[in-house]
Structure 1
Amino acid sequence: MKLNLAVFAYHLADYAPRLYDSEIHGLGVADVRFLDRQETFLSESVYIGMWDKLQALIKPPFYVVCIGRDETTDRWLEEHGVKALILDSEVELNEVFERLQDIFQHYNRLESELLEAVLCKEPLNVLLNICAKFFANPTFITDAALCLVATCDNFAHPETDRAWQETIESGRSSSELLLLMKRKKLTNLLNTSRKAEFVNVGENYSKIICANYFDQEVRIATFTVSEAYTPLSPLQAGLVDHVAKLLTAEVRKQHKASSRYLFAIRSNISNLLHGQKIDEAILKTNFAHIGWTDQEDYRLLKIPLTTAELADGTAGHNRKIYESIFPHYVSLDLNEVLILVIRCARDTEADKRRFAELKKHLKNENAACGVSKTFHDFDMLGEEYKLANAALEIGSWKYPKEALYFYEDMMLEHLFSEGSRIFNLRSLCHDSVLRIAEHDQQNNSSLLQTLKVYLLQEKSLLAASQELHIHRNTLVYRLGKIEQISGLDLNSPLIRLQGILSCLILEYLNGLEEKAPD
């Protein structure tokens, strides 16, 4: 296995080495040899010797480990085009040579083990276990959407690693860490770099080195080494590049398999959103490939990309953040709109936390999202999109600062809005409730609100009086007044239902009048 001077510098840190004109990327050194006065040197060997012997050479080797230096060393190295690792003169030559030999043997043994595992088509987590040995630190792979694909299990992340704990719980890269990277303007570099990048975002987070996999110009996955047990350094970037490259075939194989299924699912969703019918058996088969069945609940989210996101190029990054919040999703771009179909968690509290996180990010980006009701029939995706769109339109108009709008919260508004296009909504109201509304208007009273709360609280005097913030006796008095004006028989379930509907319609119409421009 080939190494480079940067890897040597990392392992010889106790000698306080200094690199001269040496790349941290690229591995071009195949072995180590003692320096002598031979006329030709092998281009892939590193030669170790004392500074006084090195400077006497007319045509020095390309790579050297130089022991000792003076004020002319740097100029001489530059003039002769030599890449060097410089150590103090007190260092013992044979000791350094033996350590370099041990470094080569260590990595040669690990590379052979990894190549054999690749040839035997071992699972990705087994390959990552071997990769972790190269760095004595955890290694893992995420896909282009930052979903966790595989991780090693021989070097576990410590429980104190907050970002990793979030990754394990959500199945995605830590949203907190991603947001911090965005603030430090690292995301574009990490998403596009063709070489391994060392990242240190702060003392509360593990240092990492990331190497991307590309399919032509599209990033499909990222190999990451995380500092947990052994210090991580930019000097290891070339080593990370090499180790990641050895996994390329397996990573691409997994990507192609998942991409094939996701392409079919995205095509199905797009067709459904455009009103086309798809055979139910085909839908079930395609979704089954990602473990989705009609025995679970789903939601559809509509997130229009903002003008600012499109203008400053952060749309792609924000999309990944939105996706990273939910562990199970399928995403689709539709005319500058992000569509997310998510599988709901069985733990409703987990979904509440995820939607709270989504809302926080939406507000930070001055964006908004409409959420459909829950559903289990994939054939209803087209209709659920309409409901998510209705939630977004009504919510943005009625509650412009909220950012996140669920259809169940906007359902009555939607029904009344659609119904008002066909007939006058007041015609649906019970005549006795209209009389109460007229009494309120003439006497500046609030009997209609009292009736609505009382009925919604299922005629509980205690619950209704608490919600209205009035004394129980006051509520009893108002109910008597309502009966006197309207004659409503509130013991009839049908009358109660008509009463609630009438109150809600009148509340909706009053809201329209208040929103109407002067």
Structure 2
Amino acid sequence: MLLNLSILKDRLQALHILQAQTDPMQKRTLKFPRHYQGETTFDPSVLYVAVSENLPLNPDLPEHLCLICLGFPPAAYVSAKECEFVCIRTDNDITQVFQLVLEIFYEFESLNETFKDMIIARQSYETFGKLCYRIFQTPVSAFGTFEKVLFIEYDKEKENDAIRYAGCLGDYLDNEERCILYADKDWVNTLSVHGPAFMHSTMYSTNILYYNLFRQDHYIGRIMIEDSCREFQDGDYMLLEWIGDYLRMLLEQNQEFHFEASQGLENLIQRLLSDIKVQENQGEPALSAIGWEKSDEYICTAISQLPSASLDSTLNNAAFFLSDLLEDNYIFIQNHIIYQILNLTRSPLSLPEVQRRLRIFQNNNALQIGYSTIFCNFYELHNYLLQATLMVNYAVQTHSGRPLEYEKNILPMMLWRIRDHYDSSVFVSHSLRRLFDYDAQNHSELVMTLKSYLANHHSLSKTMEELYIARSSCSYRIRRIEEITGLSLEDPDVSLYLQLLLKLLG
């Protein structure tokens, strides 16, 4: 999350600011704060917290410098256009000041992640509004096209929807805006936006700060805050732009997804998917062009949707959004499945972070997710995409509700595929059928004992503990199982068959 000094100044009022020189329209460039420790050169992306008397009198200023000073800075800083500063009283403890600034950065980083997660989850405009209110402490509204995108279910013929939108139909919306508000979904899908443009005006005796968005050169909507709860602050401009960035992301969800990759990588992946043998000297240039290597660590993800979902629109929207969400990872759609190839060696995102983001997305959309195992040879891509496909198909059919990893779910998936093609009773041998019949006729629990015994790796102690029976009873049951079935449980093949069959039968 990037900030500018105006945003920080608004949140430092409790420190009794003596003087400030900030630019409300300065772009957000600050990444983190740092104690000033006598440096002679400054990083424009760093906010320096310093005691003014420690600053050099004739500094070599960068193109942009941001300072928080205990006391007034030297004249060279005050007169420099490229320098922004906030002066606070010298009786403040610099360590506490730095800690407060650091907490503000952490707070906005958390808000940034919350916004991102909200967009991923496609939560409602109501949730968006509540989060905005936490930031601005004053109402935040969106008009024009936003309602159609954020409330995609809006129907002007329905009474509840009409009431919800009553506030959008005042005199300050012209006919063009109303047409946009009522535009059908196909029209909304054509939107492309750019901006921002700021205005500051008065409406109904309330001061309003606007952020306008455009479709080509035509106004399509606005996000705005008003000063009904508090006066405007300098940092509101850039915060409003930040919020606008997220609204643009919501608008862009409705665009057609297309991942732009190098033609060489496209061709290499298609050849691998076609199971065509690729020589190293043929594939290396395509990987090198995007900074990948054959021996990097990779994992494949497959994302599909439940049969009840609207097929193409959901996948296109999801793929478009995931291309932003997962950053520098290759994504494509094939056979109504989104595939993602994650380079664990080169990705700016860790695997747990990717999985966290995908879980959020899955929990709020009609989607299912499957992962392959990690692999270290890009030319084996076909096998691992197949693993991911098997997992996502298993997830769709079983409505798992959570991402499925190949290594942890291979056995349940194999058993499910068998059950899907055959009646499980086909695999029950005559000897095992006798055991089921014996239990049914004598109301005994030999099948349950067999399951526990096999699951506990033939351990009598663990089996008796699990079933709460005496050791002698447990030994007796195992003997009876072998007598009735005529099978030796010490035979590895017999043991494996029985384990698989009992799992298959559930």
TM value normalised by structure 2: 0.47
Calculate the TM-score normalised by the size of structure 1. Answer: 0.46
Structure (1 or 2) with the larger CA radius of gyration = 1
